[in-house]
Amino acid sequence: MKKILPYVLTGLLTLGGLSSCQDFFELESEQVLFVDDLKLNTVNDTVYSVIGIINRLQQVADKTVLLGEIRSDLISLTDKADLELQALATFTAGTNNLYNRPQDYYAIINNCNYFIANADTALRKRNEPVFLKEYAAVKAFRAWTYLQLAKIYGSVPFVIEPIEKEKQTNIALYEKKDMAALCDFFIEDIKPFINTDLPGYGNIGGLNSTKFFIPVRLLLGDLCLWAGRYMESALYYHDYLTNRNRPMPLGTNQIAWRSNTNTFDGYINDSYAGLFTDVSGQEIISYIPMEANRFEGTISELRNIFNSTLDNDYYYQAKPSNAFISLSKQQSNCKIYLNEATQVRDTIYAPSENIFNEFWVGDLRLYSIYRRQYVGNSSLSSYSTDRQTIQKIGRHVPIYRRGTVYLRYAEALNRTGFPSAAFAILKYGLTEENIVKYVDSMEVKTASGTGLLDWDVNLFTATNTMGIHSRGAGVADANKQYVLPAMANKTDSILYVENLISDELALETAFEGQRFYDLMRIALRRNDHAYLANKVAGRDGASNFNQALYNKLMDVSQWYLPLNN
């Protein structure tokens, strides 16, 4: 296949690998191609430089996913997992761990800094700025990269000018900023570009290049969510989803029991797994494009970690944890059965056990994306007979998709003080009709004038919208066991709904690199370290609770990777 990113980062400075502890920033002299006064003022310079930054993103794609997933409660490692992954899972990774490479993130940042400092933003054509789209995109790349660093390390050196000289590589020269400070800075830094269109260079390697870029409005939603600015966060997510020129209803893709039988013995319709197999589809909003093979450049190695492949002799290294399997099975699943003879509809519930397949129980999303089989081998074969496929894991690495955005909107909306509206996203889906029927009237009144609950009646309908829980748990809006009970006060309701959102994040976004940070964000918000510690220490099931790991994770400093000083 034609190479996706045929151009290296023409003329931009990069931060190379660390040769020693003190060289946190190390300039690779052979890559310093620009003279000091060169401006990026031609289309070729600018486009190739932006594509080059995307090339740098490839270097952090896998580690960003692994750092967010291997340390979570949803993944357990096999005895074939390498020592680097084991160290991540046990929170013992040191500065020399393969996945502890801040320099790869700072390479992106320095390239962005150079672009921002040198792009000719004054250049206009037909009175329109020529490079505004690229300038905004690069600012978004830089903000996203700093957000990843803050999640991984907690507090990091803050560099917004290009490092061009060896004397500038001393880490002591730069102040450190934590998550709150970084979010506050970058919210203001990228906010002016909220309505700037994404760049688009047509198809590159058969892929829509617009999806290589990060929507500023979604990134603002994330930054505000981490900063605790929940009203702003909810509005950013809402406004992105409801844009009249590009509305994004959740859709009705799901895996569910067929409604024309009153049994639960294998008659399943599945349009869920297909959401992840085609990055050109509507579900995937933004992703890091990876090469097809090593000859062409950087490929994703996630398939060789999560899946059985010829490259790993079919020995996978990570699998769904007992805690994740248990959470999936605990979900109530129902369908509305239509008796064709009597034309009577009835809500019936799936049993808690299934003799045909252990994963035909509870939420079916795990069954949709997870396959495990045993194959026969000769006694002389070096191949594993136990094989696994996670169908979410493909060639490219998603950054944003619709399901994730809806759940983050629900999280922000809930913390803004709208728990019944947030719950409606899970159970019903937000349409004007559903808001009137299911959202607390006081919440509707409070939201009046804010835009938070404005959903166009013509764009969001029963035919293109459902509760996200229905993606795997049957007809959630008919499920009398999946409800928001009356609580003593709103604070209790918010906590209850937040727990449901946390579970839904696990069911919907497992294996995507989000989970550990979702737990972190909720635990920090609640000032409850045990929330994260309990989940992660219990990944192998209640009977195998890891008390030592729990004790370790009660110290919040253990949540972050060590950073060379």
Question: Any idea what DSSP says for residue 196?
Answer: P
144/118: higher pLDDT: 144
SS3 194: coil
Average pLDDT, the chain: 91
User: Residue 316 and residue 77: Cα distance in Å, rounded?
Assistant: 9
SS3 208: strand
Question: Any idea what DSSP says for residue 359?
Answer: T
Question: Any idea what DSSP says for residue 168?
Answer: G
Q: How many residues does the chain have?
A: 565
Structural domains in the chain, CATH included, are: 29-201 (1.25.40.390), 255-397 (no CATH), 399-559 (no CATH)
Find the mean pLDDT for residues 509-513: 98
**Model confidence band, residue 415 (pLDDT cutoffs 50, 70, 90):** very high
> Can you give the pLDDT at residue 25?
52
User: Residue 368 and residue 255: Cα distance in Å, rounded?
Assistant: 7
- pLDDT, tens digit (0-9, with 9 covering 90-100), for 258-316: 988 888 987 899 999 999 988 999 999 999 999 989 988 999 999 999 999 999 999 99
> Can you give the pLDDT at residue 166?
64
> Can you give the pLDDT at residue 460?
98
User: Residue 363 and residue 508: Cα distance in Å, rounded?
Assistant: 10
**Model confidence band, residue 233 (pLDDT cutoffs 50, 70, 90):** very high
| Residue of 327, 426, 393, 275 lying closest to 74 (CA atoms) | 327
| Residue of 306, 282, 291, 293 lying closest to 402 (CA atoms) | 282
Q: Is the pLDDT of residue 12 over 70?
A: no
447/45: higher pLDDT: 447
- pLDDT, tens digit (0-9, with 9 covering 90-100), for 238-250: 999 999 999 999 9
> Can you give the pLDDT at residue 172?
72
> Can you give the pLDDT at residue 127?
67
Q: Which range is least confidently modeled, 110-114, 130-134, 267-271?
A: 130-134
Find the mean pLDDT for residues 335-359: 90
pTM, rounded to two decimals: 0.93
> Can you give the pLDDT at residue 42?
64
The alpha carbon of residue 528 and the mean position of all alpha carbons in its chain are separated, in whole angstroms, by 23
Tokens, residue 65: 């996913």
216-227 helix and 402-416 helix, angle to the nearest 10 degrees: 40
Answer for the pair 302, 65: CB distance below 8 angstroms, yes or no: yes
Question: Any idea what DSSP says for residue 129?
Answer: E
